[in-house]
Structure 1
Amino acid sequence: MPRSALKKVTHSKRKLSRPRRPSRTKLGVAVLAFLLGLILFSKIGGLFGSGEDISFKNYIWNGNSTLNLVVKSDNIYVASYNPQDSSFTILKVPDETYASVPLGFGRWPMRSVYDLGQAEKPLIGARLLKDTTGMLFGVPVDGYILTSGNFGTMAENARKNPFSIIGAIRESKTDLNIVESIRFWWGVKGVRFDRFKSADLENSDLTSWALLPDGSRGLELDGLRLDQFIQSRFEDSKLKDEGLGIGILNATDHPGLAEKAARVVTNIGGRVILTGNLEERQHNSFVLGKDGYTQTRLSQVFAPACIQTSWPLGLFRSGGCFLQSDSFNFSRAEVTIVLGEDYFLRYNSTKGN
């Protein structure tokens, strides 16, 4: 066959070749844009449930740090999404689990906590559920989701079908904004099955039935085993990898704050090297020291009012508050948490600060 004829045949074959498929990245961006458009349209149309109670969420999640949520659906769940290693953990909390409820409510089963807060004015059900859960498990609870149905099933559906994210967001009340919600659910969608973990406390050795003072029975948690379990499931890998020495100082007249904060920091992978008291009393809490992920994450947990953010991207920096002390010593700890009166009031006043 002449070369000219061969070139014509080759050229015709090229014309008949299949067009290239769009890349996964482009497809993902298109789906994400579509989801955002639908959700924003739904919000404008009033199809979203509005958060009607107070939860005191003072910072915007930028998608880089671990996000811990308490979920009230068919049961109470604690969910943790870690974008650093693309992992997701769901912990089912039995309704009969007894917990100390802040703001002077005493001890109640977890099923009653939200309703206790909703009976108050202003409504504080979500805030009470967040703070109770954080105190019980010794982890920072960054936000809440209120929804019907089974949350575990919702998360599984998000992994298998990204369009189910629309329904998950529309049918939920949360203190996450639209961008945060999409970041969260889109992150869950990308979690591999082997990084998707779930546990039911009722079927574990962490709980045991106990006779309560009123003669009823309730589930009690083993504190030591619980912390070991939490550290294995809720560890912030980036915080642990930085490995900075963390100091915690109580700058109030309320004893025990530093030790309670140390439990939280340790449970999420922080390396606490000292706890103590600061002579000068402070109203605002601070996280001071070396810039980086550790300082930012601990600021979110202990001093969110000092984080300056820009909506909606969640770009932020620490430094909105300043320490009023002449005797503070940075020498031992690379990052220092100073707990002020606002931290105490968060768990002891309906005004929150």
Structure 2
Amino acid sequence: MPARTARKSRRTSKRKKTSSNRKKVKKILAVSSLFLISALFLSGLGFYKNLTKNFAAATSEGDYFISEQDVFSLLYVTVDDMNMEPVLATSIRMKLFDRNNGKVVSYSIPLDMVVDVPGKFGEEEISKVFALGNLNNKEDFRNGISLLDKTVTSLFGFKVNKYIIVDSKFQTEFDSLFETGSLNMTASLNDLSKFKNSLITDLTFNEFINIYTFTRSLPQDRFIKKDFIPQYTANTSLIDEEVRDLTFDSSIALEKKSIAVLNGAGTPGLAQFGNRIVQNLGGRVVGVGNALQVYSDSYIIVDETDLITTTSLAFSFGIGNIMLKRYAAFIRENELDRADIVVIMGLDIKDIL
């Protein structure tokens, strides 16, 4: 009996040791992956002084940090070669991260999909939109990014919160991160030295690590891949329903503020598009229509400014004029008496559509 007990004790001890070793290996792998991905990004940053700043070649609209959002989007684009003219996309994906329900939904947009490009560009294949926006400015990619951002936002009725554009030679690494929550380092050291010329993003380093930490915590069945099918553009309510399934319990939805959207630019369909944006954020719309006059500038008029809803609306519409109702006596719109928040879409943002 004592010998049997001793053998059992040794087996139990061995199992515990094996389990402990596995945990240590997983921890080492996680730390190693984090170190590698940090090195990858810092090679593009130049030095640690940029850790809490945007390390992009292009800028975002104001200080909008996805670490503060429970549902956020990332436009992930790979291009054939950053140094070629024109720069053509090889893949375009819109990723929706849902912290509340622990999942990532990724929509792959067909490159040959013909879209109505915002502004005066008309219809064009989406693969060419990035290059189209860069026609008049080849020094950087800001115009191309902005045009692609507006185009994808119009498809989903959900603002692109952040973007990342990567040279195709690094696609394996980023696909692995965003679509499986893991990191497969196949890039050579020589590639890493060229990394700073192969990435454009408005993510801060901390935001990138935040995404990495979130995706790594998810099981594989929480990464959902979908194709952006033509039916979504033919009937936008289909994609809107899927987006609202993610935002129904968002912070904006929980604040339960009533919102009115007014077309102050005279552009047909502008208020309806604004209504779609608000509802897809989880907002409660109580009024949609034309303003009593044309407004050169856009406004968000509120009862109180310290709201997640206000911040999200300002970013989604690109509106900087946020005003308390008591200071908005010059605005005679009736909706100010009916809604907690009134969004007036003026001439300055009419090209959002």
Question: What residue in structure 1 maps to residue 82 of structure 2?
Answer: none
Aligned counterpart for 1:250 among listed residues 240, 263, 268:
263
Cα distance in 1 between the residues matched to 2:244 and 2:153: 14
* Contact map agreement 2:73 2:96 (CA 8 A) in 1: yes
Amino acid at match of 2:207: E
Name the amino acid aligned to 2:316: V
* Match of residue 3 from structure 1: none
Q: How does 1:99-110 map to 2 (within 5 A)?
A: 99-110=115-126
Residues in 1 aligned to 2:62 and 2:329: alpha-carbon distance in whole angstroms: 22
- Higher deviation after alignment, 274-283 or 253-262: 274-283
Once the two structures are TM-superposed, the CA of residue 278 in structure 1 deviates from its matched residue by 3.3
Amino acid at match of 1:252: A
Gap change, CA 1:198 and 1:61, over 3 Å in 2: same
Shift of the 99–287 alpha-carbon distance from structure 1 to 2, 3 Å rule, reads: farther
Displacement of 1:127 in angstroms is 1.0
Aligned residue in 1 for 2:314: 299
Of 303, 310, 321, the residue aligned with 1:289 is 303
Structure 2 counterparts to residues 311-326 of structure 1, below 5 A? 323=328, 325-326=330-331
Say which structure is richer in helix: 2
Cα displacement (A) at 1:136: 1.8
CA distance in 1, matches of 2:329, 2:36: 49
Q: Does 1:340 align with 2:346?
A: yes
The partner residue of 1:44 within 43, 46, 49 is 46
Partner Cα separation in structure 2 for residue 174 and residue 270 of structure 1: 28
Q: What is the SS of the residue equivalent to 1:125?
A: helix
146, 150, 154: which one pairs with 2:177?
154
Identity rate of aligned residues, in percent? 23
Q: Which residue number corresponds to residue 225 of structure 1?
A: 238
Give yes or no for contact 2:252–2:282 (8 Å, CA) kept in 1: yes
- Cα distance change of structure 1 residues 111 and 35 upon mapping to structure 2, 3 Å threshold: closer
Return 5+ residue gaps in structure 2 as ranges: 1-19, 79-89, 187-191
- Tell me which residue corresponds to 1:327: 332
Q: Secondary structure, in 3 states, of the residue corresponding to 2:68?
A: coil
**1:277 and 1:173, CA in 2 relative to 1: closer, same or farther beyond 3 A?**
same
Matches within 5 A, 1:269-288: 269-279=282-292, 281-288=295-302
Distance 1:326 1:100, change over 3 A: closer
- TM-score between the two structures when normalised by the length of structure 2: 0.68
Shift of 1:154: 3.2
Listed as ranges, the gaps of 5+ residues in structure 1 are 1-18, 208-219, 308-317, 348-353
Contact map agreement 1:91 1:199 (CA 8 A) in 2: yes
Report the TM-score, using the length of structure 1 for normalisation. 0.68
Give the distance between the partners of 1:143 and 1:52, measured in 2 at CA. 13
